[in-house]
């Protein structure tokens, strides 16, 4: 791994961490999509797992002990279903060719933007949210399973983010609950990635562990800056970045097919 790539990876981890610290989400999707421009997509996905654990560990501290217990019970079905779905998604990851996976990541990135932006109404989105995003064990199981499969294969947990956002939580509690959900899932993913042979070599494992430092530093900076930005500004910055990266992934993937 060249010095230039090491610098690029550290910068990506820091920026993705800052985005997550400011917006409360976005580390996995921003980091993975950007890294997919440096590594092959499958490596980019597993590379981000260790930094994801560290980032969510730093954010889950925003929940008190009582809130941890309450949220664990409240979102238990969602967490369990998402964990199972994630393992299925990771099993699929090792079987997908690079070019189509790059295209898929681009599509997922742009889909995240399309469903998260508020300038243009996307037909069917509100109906789907009203029908699926209800706080019942059945809805949590369905959303968790589907979201888990997508998250396991791409590191994109857009449905989980959207579901938790629909539960009318304060911003601080929203950030903490997301961190709680992704923390448990990603601890399991590290072992699953090793068992499934998804880490190409020990160099990638070591680099992934080292990327924890700039990622956590980025989160710390982002948390300090969080209250200086309105929700609209935070959303615009994240979606703008994802649009650029998504279009680049699509162009690279289509060109390689």
Chain segment 114-155, per-residue pLDDT in tens: 777 667 766 655 555 554 456 677 888 888 888 888 888 888
CA distance 162 to 115: 9
Q: Which two tokens stand for residue 33?
A: 């999509």
Say yes or no to pLDDT of 226 above 90.
no
- The number of helices, as runs of H, and strands, as runs of E, in the chain is 14, 0
pLDDT at 110 over 60: yes
Alpha-carbon torsion (70, 74, 75, 76), positive or negative: positive
pTM summary value = 0.73
**If 0-12 CB within 10 Å is exposed, 13-18 middle and 19+ buried, where does residue 172 land?**
middle
Residue 212 has pLDDT above 90, yes or no: yes
CA 139 centroid distance within chain: 21
Burial label, 64 (beta-carbon count in 10 A; 0-12, 13-18, 19+): exposed
pLDDT in tens, 157-211: 777 777 787 777 777 777 777 777 888 888 888 999 999 888 988 999 999 999 9
The CA-based diameter of the chain, rounded to the nearest angstrom, is 52
CA neighbor of 49 nearest in space, from 148, 230, 193: 193
pLDDT band at 231 (very low <50, low <70, confident <90, very high): confident
**Per-residue pLDDT reduced to its tens digit, 38-69:** 888 889 999 999 998 888 887 776 666 776 67
């Amino acid at each position: 791994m060249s010095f230039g790539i090491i610098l690029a990876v550290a910068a990506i981890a820091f920026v993705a961490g800052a985005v997550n610290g400011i917006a409360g989400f976005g580390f996995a999707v921003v980091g993975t999509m950007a890294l997919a421009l440096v590594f092959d997509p499958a490596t980019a996905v597993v590379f981000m797992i260790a930094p994801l654990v560290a980032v969510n560990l730093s954010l889950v501290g925003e929940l008190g002990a009582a809130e941890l217990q309450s949220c664990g019970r409240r979102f238990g079905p969602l967490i369990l279903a998402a964990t199972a779905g994630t393992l299925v998604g990771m099993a699929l990851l090792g079987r997908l060719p690079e070019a189509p996976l790059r295209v898929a990541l681009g599509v997922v990135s742009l889909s995240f933007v399309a469903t998260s932006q508020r300038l243009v109404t996307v037909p069917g989105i509100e109906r789907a949210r009203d029908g699926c995003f209800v706080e019942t064990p059945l809805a949590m199981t369905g959303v968790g399973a589907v979201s888990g499969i997508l998250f396991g294969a791409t590191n994109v947990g857009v449905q989980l983010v959207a579901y938790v956002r629909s539960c009318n939580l304060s911003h601080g509690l929203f950030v903490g609950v997301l961190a709680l959900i992704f923390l448990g899932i990603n601890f399991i993913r590290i072992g699953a990635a090793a068992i499934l042979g998804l880490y190409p070599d020990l160099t990638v494992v070591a680099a992934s562990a080292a990327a924890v430092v700039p990622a956590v530093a980025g989160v710390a900076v982002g948390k300090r800056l969080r209250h200086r930005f309105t929700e609209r500004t935070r959303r615009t910055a994240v979606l703008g970045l994802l649009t650029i990266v998504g279009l680049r992934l699509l162009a690279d993937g289509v060109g390689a097919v």
